[in-house]
């Protein structure tokens, strides 16, 4: 059994090396003082300096971040409201919407991308920031719905009625009763939407224009020659994504531990109180 374990660990290790080695190497060479991608000469932040003084790149960072935030906010609101409405809709309508909603998830990115590109040019919309934002909302919202809708289905259908019987307006029933119960699904949706939008290349590449580029497009245009500045940029992007993921995985764990700790402390407090009382009695 033990021998088998060693083999398993070895194989899993090799697979993880395969996944992570290129990423780690890119990160290491972003701190290289020379332009070489093979010889590590000495540690320097030269490429990060380059990065932050390069107006084009900083502009792309601005575009990526603002579009990701806006698209996440809008698609979360749109998706959550739709998911709530969906559970109350007629069966045929529900199935129709869910099926159409699945199209952008199932379709290859490139098909979604060109379909939107054709749409925007048919509408004579100027390609740029706005078209990119609309496209991002279009591909993020379906993911929000697929993560929120199952939670809505698990809700007791009488909850909203109960709240309204007790005098809540429909709006209050929504914000005070239903939304808090969907928290988990909404957080999952936010996470998905943000990372998908922040990371998107294919769709942004086709629907943008007039020099508006996000980080991925800049990287794509710069890869024709290896350039350590891209290493620095991709290190930062990967860090943002990984930190977001770890944050999301770890926060619930920490919260639980805090609660457990709190409970333990409370118990200890009780014991202390009892001790104190006993002492007082003795006095």
Partner 1 sequence: MKQFVKLVRPYMVWLVVMVIVPLLLIVLYSVTTGGNDLVNIQFTLDNFKKMTEPIYVAVFVKSFQLGLISVGICLVAGYILAYLITLFSERVQGLLILFVTIPMWINTLLRTYAWICLLSDNGIINTVLGLFGIEPVSMMYTDFAVILGLVSDLLPFMVIPIHTSLCKIDHSLHEAAMDLGANRFQTFWRVTFKLSIPGVLNGIIMTFLLSISTFVIPKLLGGGQYMLIGNLVETQFISVGDWNFGSAISVILAFIILIAITCMKRIDKEEIEEE
Scan residues 234-273 and list those touching partner 1 (CB under 8 A). 234, 237-238, 241-242, 245, 249
Q: At what angle do helices 129-154 and 91-106 cross, to 10 degrees?
A: 130
Contacts (CB under 8 A) with partner 1, residues 94-123: 97, 100-101, 103-104, 106-112, 114-119, 121-122
Q: Which is nearer to partner 1, 226 or 272 (CB)?
A: 226
Tokens in use for 164?
A: 């309204």
Contacts (CB under 8 A) with partner 1, residues 10-29: 11-12, 15-16, 18-23, 25-26, 29
Q: How far is the CB of 25 from partner 1 (least distance, A)?
A: 6
Handedness of CA 220, 222, 223, 228 (dihedral sign): negative
200 DSSP assignment: -
Contacts (CB under 8 A) with partner 1, residues 125-164: 134, 138, 141, 157, 160-161
**Do residues 47 and 231 make contact, with C-beta atoms less than 8 angstroms apart?**
yes
Q: Which is nearer to partner 1, 100 or 268 (CB)?
A: 100
CB neighbour burial string for 201-236, b if at least 16 within 10 angstroms, e if fewer: ebbbbbbbbeebbbbbbbbeeeeeeebbbbbbbbbb
Q: Which is nearer to partner 1, 181 or 241 (CB)?
A: 241
Q: How far is the CB of 49 from partner 1 (least distance, A)?
A: 20
Q: Is 67 in the site for partner 1 (CB under 8 A)?
A: no
**Do residues 245 and 230 make contact, with C-beta atoms less than 8 angstroms apart?**
no
Q: Which is nearer to partner 1, 172 or 272 (CB)?
A: 172
Distance of alpha carbon 149 from alpha carbon 89, whole angstroms: 12
157 DSSP assignment: T
Query: From its phi and psi, is residue 155 left (phi > 0), alpha (psi between -120 and 50) or beta?
Result: beta
Q: Which is nearer to partner 1, 245 or 266 (CB)?
A: 245
Q: Which is nearer to partner 1, 46 or 114 (CB)?
A: 114
Q: Which stretch binds partner 1 (CB under 8 A): 37-45, 55-63, 181-189, 259-267?
A: 37-45
Partners of 281 in the beta sheet? none
């Amino acid at each position: 059994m033990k021998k088998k374990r060693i083999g398993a660990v070895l194989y899993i290790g090799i697979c993880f090396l395969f996944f992570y080695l290129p990423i780690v190497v890119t990160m290491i060479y972003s701190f290289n003082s020379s332009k070489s991608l093979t010889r590590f000469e000495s540690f320097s932040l030269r490429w990060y300096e380059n990065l932050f003084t390069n107006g084009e790149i900083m502009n792309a960072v601005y575009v990526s971040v603002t579009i990701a935030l806006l698209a996440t906010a809008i698609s979360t609101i749109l998706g959550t409201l739709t998911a709530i409405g969906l559970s109350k809709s007629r069966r045929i309508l529900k199935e129709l919407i869910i099926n159409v909603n699945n199209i952008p998830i199932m379709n290859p990115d490139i098909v979604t991308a060109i379909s939107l590109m054709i749409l925007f040019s048919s509408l004579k919309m100027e390609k740029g920031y706005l078209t990119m934002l609309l496209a991002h909302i279009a591909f993020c919202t379906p993911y929000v719905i697929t993560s929120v809708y199952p939670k809505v289905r698990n809700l007791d259908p009488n909850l909203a009625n109960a709240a309204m019987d007790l005098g809540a307006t429909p709006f209050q029933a929504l914000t005070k009763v239903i939304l808090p119960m969907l928290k988990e699904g909404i957080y999952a949706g936010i996470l998905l939407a943000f990372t998908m939008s922040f990371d998107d290349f294919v769709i942004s590449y086709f629907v943008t224009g007039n020099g508006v580029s996000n980080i991925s497009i800049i990287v794509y245009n710069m890869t024709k020659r290896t350039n350590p500045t891209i290493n620095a940029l991709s290190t930062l992007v990967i860090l943002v994504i990984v930190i977001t993921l770890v944050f999301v995985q770890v926060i619930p764990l920490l919260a639980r531990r805090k609660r457990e700790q709190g409970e333990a402390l409370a118990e200890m407090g009780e014991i202390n109180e009892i001790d104190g009382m006993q002492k007082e009695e003795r006095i």
